[in-house]
Amino acid sequence: MTNHFIERSQFPALMQEIDGRPVNYHDSAATTLKPRVMIDAITEYYSQNGANIHRGKHRLSDEASNAYEAARLAVADYICVQANEVVFTHNTTHALNIVAQGLALTKSDLVIAGIDSHHSQLLPWRQVATLRFIQTDDYGRIDLDHFQTLLALRPKVIALTHCSNVTGVVHPVEQMIAMIRKQSDAIIVLDAAQSLPHGRLNLHTLGADFVAFSAHKMLGPTGLGFLYANRHRLDSLKPLQFGGGTVDWVDTDGQISRRAPYHLEAGTPAIASVIGAGASFRLLAGFDETALRAHDRNLVNSLLSGAASRPYLKLIGPSDGENRHAIGAFKFSDCVSVGEIARLLSDAYGIMCRSGYMCAQPFVGALAGGEILRASAYLYNTTADIDALYQALDDLAECMGLPTIN
């Protein structure tokens, strides 16, 4: 069964072969492949315009500015917020640093964050405050009792992760936000980099104060991220950078800053990337949401069932498909280098997976005791792609003398 959600031909990178084998890409949790519509939008900007934005009154600048702000509107529409509540950043990491550095925290302030957080949702807070971890159970699901205990310590900031980039587990952030609001005035900062690619979210009703995510995990270009917050929250942030684009007036005595979000967007931005991302978000917005989520569930079930029948693999995370996206993390049952497995999958089979600690070393170290292999599927993948991954792993396991099928 091929069950294509979107045709492979829309992704030029999937049209190539490695030693006669088509590329089978399972590293979308790191970055997604790029659709032709996004590539064309960037090419069109560079070939037919190329002007700066918000700097001049000539036609090319006006056209570039309009395309740039149309992309902001496309992003805002996708997450159900106002355009002036979306800040363009370099990536999710940059967005989270803008918040961490902009809140005027001190080392006496407590920040709590899930132990399964990406390093980018841990390290910025460690620089400016005291950080404590919200524990998970043995399968990577948030321990809500421990979370409740930490809330009693009255943290200043609560840094949540919506979806783990290791296990694919989607945490109950709606419930957690309700728990926070009931007993605390803590600032809630959500990393949605792994959840938003798999389905739209209404960030107004979700209730987090700040939400960060990236274009490159959502069919967009690298070097571009997003920070959502309401105008009041954005105005309260101290900018990380100052310069052109952030001010309405400068004289010898001082300056007048621009309104949000522009006071946080210093210098000439990645105009082409923003325009390309606009094309990607319009593509995503055109998909049937129910069909997209059903496709994701099929990929999840295929990943889980394949792992369950192979004794040489240990699945990191829960074995059921409830509340998770199509990310599977594995440890081999023998002392096998997952880095070598990833290299062999790539060079011998054309299958692209990730190996290592997934930029979540405290979590992976606790659950797996070492490096893991991760396969992450997306809307251009099919269950046949996952079958091919497991067949390749069976071949490698057999070569290593490991038992292959239960």
Using CA atoms in the order 289, 359, 92, 224, what is the torsion angle rounded to 10 degrees? -90
8 Å CB contact between 308 and 315: yes
CA 66 distance to own-chain centroid: 27
Tokens 């200043």, residue located? 156
**What are the structure tokens assigned to 386, written together?**
């996952």
Q: CA angle at residue 235 from 122 to 176, to 5 degrees?
A: 45
8 Å CB contact between 79 and 203: yes
406 exposed, middle or buried (CB, 10 Å; 0-12, 13-18, 19+)? exposed
- 359 catalytic? Reply is yes
Coil vs helix vs strand at 331: strand
**What are the structure tokens assigned to 157, written together?**
């900031």
In the set 163, 335, 353, 359, the catalytic residue is 359
Tokens 């409830």, residue located? 322
137 backbone dihedrals φ, ψ, rounded to 5°? -80, -175
346 exposed, middle or buried (CB, 10 Å; 0-12, 13-18, 19+)? middle
**What are the structure tokens assigned to 82, written together?**
């106002």
Cα–Cα distance measured from residue 316 to residue 406, given in angstroms and rounded to the nearest whole number:
18
Buried b (16+ CB within 10 A) or exposed e, 112-129: bbbbbbbebbbbbbeebb
Residues acting as catalytic residues: 359
